[in-house]
Structure 1
């Protein structure tokens, strides 16, 4: 016991100073607890663990947090809190594979170590250095997790630090990805029947050609990849094209989609250029003529590598952009908030989104207004070609705005279209990052712009898009794990641990039951989706449209198709009448794409809006917005308790529920009204309620409200500037 005085002298003020933190005192007094073990997935193995670990909150620099155990497995880095609160277990939008304190290994972006209050980026060469006092992990889904190692034994701290750095940062082989271990422990009976069209069979392509009334030819010669390993197993080309084996399949115009007028959209890669190749121009003419023969002998070509940023530019822009959302603490956020809009604009990310949408509008204009075939090209034909072709189809075809239709679109243009997901997403943490680029995320960004501008036209919600962007970095699904169809088949057969008994079947990301239950999947659907109303059978139509997918704008006058045998009889004069133009060549003319597309947009805007017809995005000024749900969901300072889009959606769903109740009341009073009311499909099922919006934040359902203060923390330097400035009202605002 500490004595406060001596003898009969008057007691003095205690002079004892403690150099032990409250957390250490708490640890000394607590009795040893039983070991904590994570709930492992089938095939998941724990590599290393350490306890006690302090996980910091993101409040401020007070270094508050919770204690628990940190694990590193072959699937994730997971942190288990010693005392789990009821708030953590009451979530109704919970991922079955990983939680809020779990980081899939492929989701780790960067790891920083804090040495003597200085943050250093961890690479493979720094792992052998001394153990840092703190680990900061930046995730690809923009989460920031901080762990303190000061309360852990030195051996355990060094082991967990080296284990996390090795399994998250070191370059690995694809056979080490958890998908192979997970599916090896999964029985074939667990695989559900897929409702999404995967385009991995000739029947899927034939069905799509029949739906769009395409007059093209299905290619099955590459079923065993004898034609090219970079091409899909099955694909569609123009009927007039016969020479498939020239240049090993490079430069083939591959069919994407057909307009109801007869013209179509094609994409192609570049032909290999060599000094000895004198037949290259002739081969190009053959490809272009084959596309032009599809409809009206007209085609417009566009080299996307000349009119859009390169994949390296996209990567650099996104690296700058995401830094404004990887916030370690609230003080850092308020410092960045001073120049928020100018910083976002300087990154160029939003401008790249605008350029892609603009180019897609130009392609749509050629198909819808000019009724001409469009051929888009780039070096590989699997990056920006996928972005532009997918966006054009979303704007033109309402089928792709449904949930199943959108998933089929991703399968057709991206997965079956051989987009290099493994290289672009850098799943294996390769040192050479020239191939890394968030091209698929750029596409989802553009889709979100369309969804937030024309919400009733889309069956899926922005929550679905956010979850889809997260699922790219979950090392379980085969959808976003390979570079091509040939790569997928060869790797699965060669490196599967059960290859002797049969090929390994990885689940697709479209089987959402692997990650979410049926209640959570309800958030994927847009409750305000305006389904197409079917006309009553009793009413006879006075005018029947020629095509079911009637669009909003009138088509230009069609030219009379040429007679049969035109190519045979008048081959020499073909180039004189063949209308081959380049979209990019309009630049510099009075009818440039910007001016022409503006007129096209204004003409469309003057007509009644049809959510099941043509949809065009607005690209003026602030119309291109920030995807707040994805980028701001982990920053507590910007959350709006009881507000934001969640509050608006909750009120709208309450109104839909009232309309549903009134419908049932009318049906009970007058059953004859039930027939008329059934023509409103959006009211047939009661909307899913979000509950009380007052207890939720604007980032719902990904983060929930916390019992903490949301009082803004203004930096001291900025506060002094504001207090000492007398003519603050006369200062000019920051111009973006």
Structure 2
């Protein structure tokens, strides 16, 4: 500092020397300022993405108890996402190597927003409409089960208005998207007609079909339309094996969409945890809450229904017709599961992609409505496709060598449902996609909209991260040499067209018989499921078929059945628990197991090289050569690859629910003894 003496104004006195000495050169000061500017996190915008509003000095809170610790930064909202830009760089070891190039760890796409809450005087309330007062904290629940806490207590009224605007955009979840003009007419067209679709043929000639249910009210014009349709079907397939068809009416004797919606609404609340105290409070009653949600029971019923259909196709050599109101929800789910169980090609990455494109995208599953991308109707939001992925995960977990892809592949595929730059899971039908992307029916004339496909994984992940989608333990099918190929019968190959007709006619008269007119009259007057009588011995046949298959060693390139007993149907931990540090298993879980297996495989490969042996094709011993170098097992956890080992909060000695169960302390001496589960101390 510079200063003067008390009487420094005197004529002969000298000014005192400066008492401040700088040990930093001027050029170093400019260098430090430059480094500080470079450390500031910048907002990365996609081509065409526009910044709408931002809020400075926002605290992203740590979800631990009720503390206000966290990271300061800026909360911004674009027409694509809500993003938090922290002022401090991430600590070493906090970042995972499995990064998404489109959506960062602190980014929330507008379609991924599930609910937005505001905290007023320590009470959480759902935000909607105009706010009379601004919340102290903003809580965002995401559809991928992430939970974000943003403290807004230091914001100005203008900043609060920006945050409220951001919340309104998130509640709209894509109201600025161009595709919201073309829903109603497509749905009406789909309901007016009768749709029968051939899905797949088994190697024994039996076929799997799906069909939309007949309308209850029919006039003469509709009858004539349906008569012509069925007459055309009869001319195409008028010989066996189509004389024996079993109908599965999924609309009446299976799950309903409200059942799935209610179960998942309860189920996801187990993972939308606001803080550590809430996690440990629910931990003591977690299994009872899980059972009451009925989500695992729904998964079990889907797997059992698929096994029943597989039994008809394989053991009974009977064609199966799946019937549903629109043939675009449960029909897609069951038919896809049957093909995954019966067709080994569907268990490869290319085959699974083709299956999803054929049965779900081209099959007219209403992704726009079922994912509620535009937030137009919460009643239509039913996670049917997520249920299918969960069922496939059960198979992947029980039979890992049979699948070329990993559970991480299924997890990132479920995340891609809510990234609107991909057209794969955005529209209700191929017609809607063509109409929307072509600019037809829109108020503002514009160029065609070009969207990406979700199957181009290079858009989201670097090559090193993409290797985590490939299963190194997959047992490939041995390739036959030329001499073996000549002796192979064609009927054992996968069929991509309608099955060949048999020369010998069946004595039974069934679905497509010669009395076409008589059949059509009956078919149009009653529901299909009541016309075809299937055996009452189904449960016995199912049990015999199920037990017989599980009594022998599984053929990873043939029929594959899951275990459906209670303990075998489990929670998809990687997807549902990955954002909860308290739920991780340090040094354990699927990630640590994969790391250990890869180490063993690498050691086997080196030993084979030393002894001069060549690994047998399909043995999987050399599959680990292309896998990335995983961290050592001590740093892995059950949350890998979405997180390395994190420090979870300490478990309380006595859970909060334990104190609640004890009740008041005054009457403890007079109360009778009772059992209270206090958890592990």
The TM-score with structure 2 as length reference comes to 0.82
Q: Are 2:647 and 1:704 equivalent residues in the alignment? A: no
Paired position in structure 2 for 1:521:
466
User: Per the alignment, do residues 450 and 584 of structure 1 end up closer, same or farther by CA in structure 2, a change over 3 Å counting?
Assistant: farther
> 2 CA distance for matches of 1:541 and 1:488?
43
Paired position in structure 1 for 2:194:
251
Return 5+ residue gaps in structure 2 as ranges: 1-32, 496-501
Q: Are 2:268 and 1:322 equivalent residues in the alignment? A: yes
> 1 CA distance for matches of 2:393 and 2:187?
34
Paired position in structure 1 for 2:219:
276
Paired position in structure 1 for 2:287:
341
Q: Of 328, 335, 352, which residue of structure 2 is paired with 1:406? A: 352
User: Per the alignment, do residues 728 and 59 of structure 1 end up closer, same or farther by CA in structure 2, a change over 3 Å counting?
Assistant: farther
Paired position in structure 1 for 2:204:
261
User: Per the alignment, do residues 487 and 66 of structure 1 end up closer, same or farther by CA in structure 2, a change over 3 Å counting?
Assistant: same
Paired position in structure 2 for 1:561:
505
Paired position in structure 1 for 2:88:
83
Q: Are 2:157 and 1:149 equivalent residues in the alignment? A: no
Deviations 1:238-272 (A, max 9, x none): xxxxxxxxx96x22321100111112111111223
SS in 1 for 2:379: coil
Paired position in structure 1 for 2:164:
162
User: Per the alignment, do residues 400 and 228 of structure 1 end up closer, same or farther by CA in structure 2, a change over 3 Å counting?
Assistant: same
> 2 CA distance for matches of 1:341 and 1:89?
30
Return 5+ residue gaps in structure 1 as ranges: 1-30, 179-225, 232-246, 552-557, 668-672
Deviations 1:545-602 (A, max 9, x none): 5544599xxxxxx993369xx9999648997xx9x99599879x7513x332111111
SS in 2 for 1:656: helix
Give matches, 1:369-408, under 5 Å: 369-408=315-354
**Counterpart contact for 1:493–1:499, Cα < 8 Å:** no
> 1 CA distance for matches of 2:404 and 2:487?
28
Q: Are 2:536 and 1:609 equivalent residues in the alignment? A: no
User: Per the alignment, do residues 37 and 258 of structure 1 end up closer, same or farther by CA in structure 2, a change over 3 Å counting?
Assistant: same
**Counterpart contact for 2:303–2:391, Cα < 8 Å:** yes
> 2 CA distance for matches of 1:717 and 1:685?
46
User: Per the alignment, do residues 485 and 230 of structure 1 end up closer, same or farther by CA in structure 2, a change over 3 Å counting?
Assistant: farther
Paired position in structure 1 for 2:98:
93
Give matches, 1:463-474, under 5 Å: 463-474=408-419
Paired position in structure 2 for 1:485:
430
User: Per the alignment, do residues 620 and 678 of structure 1 end up closer, same or farther by CA in structure 2, a change over 3 Å counting?
Assistant: closer
Aligned positions, number: 619
> 2 CA distance for matches of 1:547 and 1:257?
14
Give matches, 1:556-705, under 5 Å: 560-561=504-505, 571=515, 591-592=537-538, 594-667=539-612, 673-674=613-614, 677-678=616-617, 680=619, 683=622, 686=625, 687-705=627-645
Deviations 1:199-250 (A, max 9, x none): xxxxxxxxxxxxxxxxxxxxxxxxxxx999857xxxxxxxxxxxxxxx96x2
**Counterpart contact for 1:460–1:526, Cα < 8 Å:** yes
> 2 CA distance for matches of 1:230 and 1:89?
51
User: Per the alignment, do residues 479 and 606 of structure 1 end up closer, same or farther by CA in structure 2, a change over 3 Å counting?
Assistant: same
**Counterpart contact for 1:646–1:698, Cα < 8 Å:** yes
Quick one: higher RCO (CA 8 Å, sep 6+), 1 or 2?
2
User: Per the alignment, do residues 655 and 319 of structure 1 end up closer, same or farther by CA in structure 2, a change over 3 Å counting?
Assistant: same
C-alpha displacement of 1:680:
3.5
Give matches, 1:348-359, under 5 Å: 348-359=294-305
> 2 CA distance for matches of 1:459 and 1:327?
33
User: Per the alignment, do residues 582 and 372 of structure 1 end up closer, same or farther by CA in structure 2, a change over 3 Å counting?
Assistant: farther
Q: Are 2:505 and 1:505 equivalent residues in the alignment? A: no
Paired position in structure 2 for 1:14:
none
Paired position in structure 2 for 1:102:
107
Paired position in structure 2 for 1:555:
none
**Counterpart contact for 2:423–2:453, Cα < 8 Å:** yes
**Counterpart contact for 1:230–1:484, Cα < 8 Å:** no
> 2 CA distance for matches of 1:719 and 1:584?
60
Paired position in structure 2 for 1:309:
255
SS in 2 for 1:69: strand
The TM-score with structure 1 as length reference comes to 0.76
